[in-house]
Structure 1
Amino acid sequence: MRRKVPEKINIGFGIDKNFGKFAGITITSLAHNNIGHELVVHIIYDELLPEDLEKLLQTEALYRNLTLRFYQIKSTEGMTFVVPPGHITQAMYYRYLFADMLPREITKIIYLDADIICKGDILPLWQTDLQGRVLGAVRDYGEDRSCERIGLKSGRYFNSGVLLMDLEKWRQQKLTQQLFQWLEAVGDTKILWGDQDALNGVIDGEFTELPQIFNGIVINNTTLNEDLDMVIVHYIDYVKPWHIYYVDSNAKALYWEYVKKSLWSALKPVDGQTVETIMMTARLLYRNGKYSESVSYYEALLKYFLKDKYR
């Protein structure tokens, strides 16, 4: 009996040094749930912490179905980065660079954000027919407002956290140049979601719609897909499941399940650095019956405000 040849699936991440470990946790979930496929993960980055690079390479050695390839950005000449205030960073634009930085023989890739857990088989996503379009994506939950804000005629706006990209068409259309030109022309006047706005602004509805199971959006445990019966769970917005103030739920438990499976299993929940997130932590601790810990956060805030007022 002839042995079945594993499907080779190309997957891409674009990260900076702050997201090396989180990409590693996402990659662990991918490898764990796609053991029958050959996963080739392409990581475009500007900088990685040495300890995260070491653990990424160790993760590659752990899974027989996993190969990692690294591409460091040496220059950003000719690139326009519009970075709105908040949790979004310059690294969100690195998803534009796969067509240029990867070998020409790679003609298709699944791009993933690093705040994702893969729960199942991504082969159906990989095999999706793009029907001649440059990319496939899941429509975003607030698309009406986004279409109006950036002036889309199509009325269709997608979330860029999961993309199936035809790199051949991307290269033919010189889409990278178009995107940076759009950003330069628009500036920060309309842009709220960075790379996502520019992709939608240039493509304006000419994308293939993917099923929601491939980008199940969760916002601080207020899930838009309540049963979490998704292949890909995407923790959007600025509050992430690795934050101490992320509300307890099945979505949070799912994330930490894969933290424990990964080489980053010693990861501790990240504390808040702003008044808002410290307040969120205090409230969450109080709701969980941890009253003395909750009080300590309120005391820290009180000292902060009094010092600011009377120094």
Structure 2
Amino acid sequence: MPNLHSALLILLLAAAACGGLSVLADDDNETFKEAPKFYNSPACPPIPPDDFCSNESINIAMTLDLHYLRGSMAAILSTLQHSSCPENIRFHFISSLPSLHNTILQSFPYLRCHLHIFAPSPVQGLISTSIRQALDSPLNYARNYLPTLLPTCLTKVLYLDSDVILVDDVADLAATPLLGKPLAAPEYCNANFTIYFTPSFWSNPSLSLTFAGRKACYFNTGVMVIDLVRWRVGGYTTRIVEWMELQKRMRIYELGSLPPFLLVFAGEIASVDHRWNQHGLGGDNYRGLCRDLHPGPVSLLHWSGKGKPWARIDSGRPCPLDALWAPYDLLVRENGGIES
């Protein structure tokens, strides 16, 4: 089955270091206040500020998108605020618009980060229209290529969506044992797995047998701990791309970038406690109605779904749980006040 992996290797490797920029560059002219600086506790191992390859550091990958930049700011702030070793966190921002990290640096001038340029053109030819336009953004597929985008000296990375906030120490999540698996995420094995794929998929034995002998467990790709070495050796990007190529020839799923991950990884990942992805707080993909938390403890809240907390707050119709996101909102109001 042909793929565009070779072309992506060439186009996705451009990277620029974060630093020295302070000009706002988003089209909505949003302005954000500067966040406080957070310091390591005495027990944290010392890591030189310019060291991005230390095994002691916590590497976090996030995408930067114009429409989700406000969410990214809140996610960064919550991560640093609840970390015992915030100076040991290294952020790897993936973006097709290099100018977006200017705003990040104005609010977090001390942040230790790299910007990695994601070229969308090869991916655009692989994207099939899904049930929600936001899911069709090429940047939504950047997680497929993290082992190509990130430095080869990195062995593990934590991927986070832009619509999350953490309320516990990210080090606990990053320390998840991978048990020889390429990635770890909270699994949901009681979900109706059939809804993620079309009748054409399930009626074709050569396709539906993909899950034979595997636990058909759903997992959300907005929070993942990834073994970059095992991913590279296993050629998992190529496997994902092959399913996307098949989807262009025959419709086998509807929901954006998630189904290829399920096809490749479902039942083959290490499990993470559900507290680390209380997802679905943005409602469904159609109306974005309010939802409650899942039962049990909470360490990470995730507004996956159509409804985003910043949009609902701005509209004057926030959901009750959006009040948990608001304290991390760095947006400055037009009258000079702080949005939250």
- Taking structure 1 as the reference length, the TM-score comes to 0.74
Distance across 2 between alignment mates of 1:198 and 1:27: 28
Give the structure with higher Rg (CA): 1
Equivalent residue in structure 2 for 1:236, among 304, 315, 327: 304
Distance across 1 between alignment mates of 2:316 and 2:241: 34
Ranges in structure 2 where 5+ consecutive residues have no aligned partner: 1-41, 47-55, 202-207, 284-288, 336-340
User: Which aligned pairs between 1:269-280 and structure 2 lie closer than 5 A?
Assistant: none
Residue 77 of structure 1 aligns with which residue?
A: 122
Q: Which letter maps to 2:85?
A: G
Report deviation, 1:248: 3.6
Ranges in structure 1 where 5+ consecutive residues have no aligned partner: 269-311
Equivalent residue in structure 2 for 1:28, among 74, 77, 91: 77
Which fold has the larger relative contact order, with Cα–Cα distance below 8 Å and residues 6 or more apart in sequence? 2
1:202 aligns with 2:202: no
Report deviation, 1:254: 1.0
Cα shift readout 1:29-85 (whole Å, capped 9, x = no counterpart)? 11111152411110111125x4x43220123325xxx41210112364376223413
**148-157 or 4-13, which deviates more:** 148-157
Residue 242 of structure 2 aligns with which residue?
A: 181
User: Which aligned pairs between 1:41-52 and structure 2 lie closer than 5 A?
Assistant: 41-47=91-97, 50=99, 52=100
Distance across 1 between alignment mates of 2:129 and 2:115: 24
1:145 aligns with 2:191: no
Matched-pair contact (CA < 8 Å) for 1:20–1:53: no
Q: Which letter maps to 2:310?
A: W
1:166 aligns with 2:166: no
Matched-pair contact (CA < 8 Å) for 2:196–2:253: no
1:215 aligns with 2:277: yes
Report deviation, 1:176: 1.0
Equivalent residue in structure 1 for 2:324, among 247, 254, 259: 254
- Taking structure 2 as the reference length, the TM-score comes to 0.68
Task: Give me the CA root mean square deviation.
Answer: 2.6
Shift in alpha-carbon separation, 1:53–1:266, aligned structure 2, 3 A: farther
Matched-pair contact (CA < 8 Å) for 2:197–2:254: no
Q: Which letter maps to 2:45?
A: V
Structure in which a larger fraction of residues adopt helix: 1
Shift in alpha-carbon separation, 1:191–1:21, aligned structure 2, 3 A: same
Distance across 2 between alignment mates of 1:16 and 1:4: 32
1:56 aligns with 2:116: no
1:67 aligns with 2:116: no
Distance across 2 between alignment mates of 1:205 and 1:246: 41
**Share of identical aligned residues, percent?**
22
SS of match in other structure, 1:136? strand
Distance across 2 between alignment mates of 1:16 and 1:249: 24
Matched-pair contact (CA < 8 Å) for 2:196–2:254: no
